């Protein structure tokens, strides 16, 4: 009997596991802001030390950006590669947090105890579920049931600029039989899930320049071209009245979901009213002829993630600014080609510009959608192991998020990825007051113990 004592060890060790997670959460590893570079490095070092303390041969590999943490332990088939990321999102607006985002704590809520803090759910808490599963296994049995390579990235929240170059230069450091990725969610609090469809992501930053300098609206208001007004017209034209994206060719490669998958999704009983109601919304805002679940799992989008121009401080300033900019992202599905869409988008915007305006662009990365090959028997093995831990059977689901690493693992290493995670929809990842349920952390670690056991037994 290999499984029961390890699960028991997870239960008895929960307080210590929580202390370790808190220590990691206290490190403000915000990868997108260069001011936090030292903190990102500190988080990498913390993980290396923790892996070594469990007997892993681990180190932080430097890159042009933030380090890759890689550690290996155990022997025997299958060789599993585990991926997670130790960087976190920025915390602004800080004023909306109820506590210091980097002073985490366990709080009681209406839905149970939660771990509150930046990165609790995305992705430090999730990453540590797997680390704790391995720690418990080694503590009980002296060694892992199969070979495991840990692979932790520190740039997931800033477009992963070093990931592909590093993977291409060091494929042997991380090549294994199957990848496990813990950066997704449960279907609901009682239903675990293996995510088999992920949207791709294309990020663009557009800056429109009109006059050479900021002008005074008293002196120039009327004849001067206002770049905020131009930007507003451009952004307003990106969707038609039915909520469809107007970029030419955008829907090329967007598939309709097969009837059997649609039937399975319908069977999940997704409550769109509750999903939207939890964040103060009542009506889906996307394409008029699609359900909310389709909009998230199988339809592409165009979103404006940030906009700025002119005077935005306290009070009022009658300025006509020289520049205005927006950060725009596209979520992609099926075989949509990010590079073709970027080109078409830029051309569309440039053709809309009035005289005396120029557009400049900042490429914030691009990755296509991922669709997993679920006929690998490991998917069914993992689904059964997961189902044993939770009240409801595990489901194969889609996800609106983008986890480009799954695509790179396939294209660079030739491996399948299995995406299993324990987050909930209301974890407020990327938002103030991010949390991770204590039950997600606890049952997550127990789930990985079961999956390790099942996969090692084959």
In the complex with its own copies, which residue's Cβ is closer, 293 or 413? 293
Q: Binding to its own copies (CB under 8 A): which residues in 36-75?
A: none
Q: Binding to its own copies (CB under 8 A): which residues in 71-110?
A: 89-90, 92-93, 96
* Contact pick of 4, 23, 34, 165 for its own copies (by CB under 8 A): 34
Q: Binding to its own copies (CB under 8 A): which residues in 293-312?
A: 295-296, 299, 301, 303-312
* Contact pick of 23, 94, 105, 237 for its own copies (by CB under 8 A): 237
* Largest interatomic CA distance in the chain: 83
In the complex with its own copies, which residue's Cβ is closer, 23 or 94? 94
| Burial (CB count within 10 angstroms: exposed 0-12, middle 13-18, buried 19+), residue 353 | middle
Our finding on whether 342 is near its own copies (CB under 8 A) is no
CA separation for the pair 309, 122 (Å, rounded): 30
In the complex with its own copies, which residue's Cβ is closer, 220 or 251? 220
62 φ, ψ to 5°? Answer: -75, 150
In the complex with its own copies, which residue's Cβ is closer, 248 or 365? 365
Q: Which residues contact 233 (CB under 8 A, 6 or more apart)?
A: 352
Tokens of 130: 């797997």
Q: Binding to its own copies (CB under 8 A): which residues in 347-386?
A: 354-356, 364-365
Smallest separation (angstroms) from its own copies to the CB of 361: 13
The DSSP result for 218-280, as a single string, is: HHHTTTS--HHHHHHHHHHTTB-TTS-B-STTTTTT-PPPPHHHHHHHHHTT--HHHHHHTTT
Q: Which residue has the tokens 């349920």?
A: 437
Q: 91 with 429: CB under 8 angstroms?
A: no
Tokens of 294: 């389709």
Our finding on whether 284 is near its own copies (CB under 8 A) is yes
H or E stretch covering 425: none
* Contact pick of 84, 321, 404, 421 for its own copies (by CB under 8 A): 321
CA separation for the pair 181, 420 (Å, rounded): 6
* Contact pick of 316, 351, 391, 414 for its own copies (by CB under 8 A): 316
Smallest separation (angstroms) from its own copies to the CB of 92: 7
Q: Binding to its own copies (CB under 8 A): which residues in 389-408?
A: 399-402
* Contact pick of 246, 318, 335, 373 for its own copies (by CB under 8 A): 318
CA separation for the pair 133, 114 (Å, rounded): 20
| Burial (CB count within 10 angstroms: exposed 0-12, middle 13-18, buried 19+), residue 384 | middle
Q: Binding to its own copies (CB under 8 A): which residues in 118-157?
A: 157
Considering only the stretches 2-10, 42-50, 270-278, 445-453, report the one whose residues sit in contact with its own copies under the rule CB under 8 A: 270-278
Smallest separation (angstroms) from its own copies to the CB of 223: 4
Q: Binding to its own copies (CB under 8 A): which residues in 12-31?
A: none
Q: Binding to its own copies (CB under 8 A): which residues in 196-235?
A: 199, 201, 203, 205, 210-226, 228-229, 231-233, 235
Q: 68 with 61: CB under 8 angstroms?
A: yes
């Amino acid at each position: 009997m290999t499984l029961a004592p390890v699960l028991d060890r997870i239960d008895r060790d929960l307080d210590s596991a929580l202390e370790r997670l808190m220590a990691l959460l206290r490190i403000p590893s915000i990868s997108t802001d260069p001011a936090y570079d030292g903190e990102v490095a500190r988080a990498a070092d913390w993980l290396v030390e923790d892996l070594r303390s469990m007997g892993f041969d681990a180190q932080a590999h430097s890159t042009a950006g933030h380090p890759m943490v890689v550690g290996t332990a155990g022997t025997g088939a299958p060789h599993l590669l585990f991926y997670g990321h130790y960087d976190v999102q920025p915390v602004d607006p800080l004023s909306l947090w109820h506590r210091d985002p980097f002073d985490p704590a366990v709080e009681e809520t209406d839905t149970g105890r939660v771990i509150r803090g930046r990165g609790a759910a995305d992705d430090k808490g999730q990453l540590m579920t797997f680390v704790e599963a391995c720690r418990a296994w080694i503590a009980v049995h002296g060694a892992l049931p199969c070979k495991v390579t840990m692979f932790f990235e520190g740039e997931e929240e800033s477009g992963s600029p070093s990931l592909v170059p590093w993977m291409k230069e060091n494929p042997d450091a991380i090549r294994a039989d199957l990848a496990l990725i813990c950066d997704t969610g449960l279907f609901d609090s009682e239903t675990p899930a293996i995510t088999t469809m992920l949207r791709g992501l294309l990020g663009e930053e557009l800056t429109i320049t009109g006059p050479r300098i900021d002008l005074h609206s008293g002196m120039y208001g009327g004849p001067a071209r206002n770049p905020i007004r131009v930007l507003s017209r451009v952004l307003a034209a990106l969707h038609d009245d039915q909520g469809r994206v107007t970029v030419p060719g955008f829907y090329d490669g967007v598939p309709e979901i097969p009837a059997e998958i649609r039937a399975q999704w319908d069977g999940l009983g997704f409550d769109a009213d509750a999903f939207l109601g939890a964040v103060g919304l009542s009506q889906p805002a996307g394409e008029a002829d699609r359900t909310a679940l389709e909009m998230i799992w199988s339809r592409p989008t165009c979103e404006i993630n940030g906009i700025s121009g002119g005077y935005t401080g306290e009070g009022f300033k009658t300025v006509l600014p020289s520049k205005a900019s927006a950060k725009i992202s596209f979520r992609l599905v099926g075989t949509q080609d990010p590079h073709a869409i970027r080109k078409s988008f830029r051309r569309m915007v440039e053709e809309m510009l009035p005289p005396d305006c120029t557009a400049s662009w900042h490429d914030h990365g691009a990755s296509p959608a991922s669709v997993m090959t679920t006929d690998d028997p490991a998917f069914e093995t993992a689904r059964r192991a997961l189902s044993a831990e939770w009240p409801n059977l595990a489901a194969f689901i889609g996800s609106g998020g983008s986890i480009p690493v799954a695509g790179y693992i396939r294209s660079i290493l030739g491996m399948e990825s299995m995406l299993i995670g324990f987050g909930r929809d209301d974890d407020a990842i990327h938002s103030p007051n991010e949390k991770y349920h204590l039950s997600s952390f606890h049952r997550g670690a127990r789930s990985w113990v079961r999956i390790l056991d099942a996969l090692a037994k084959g």
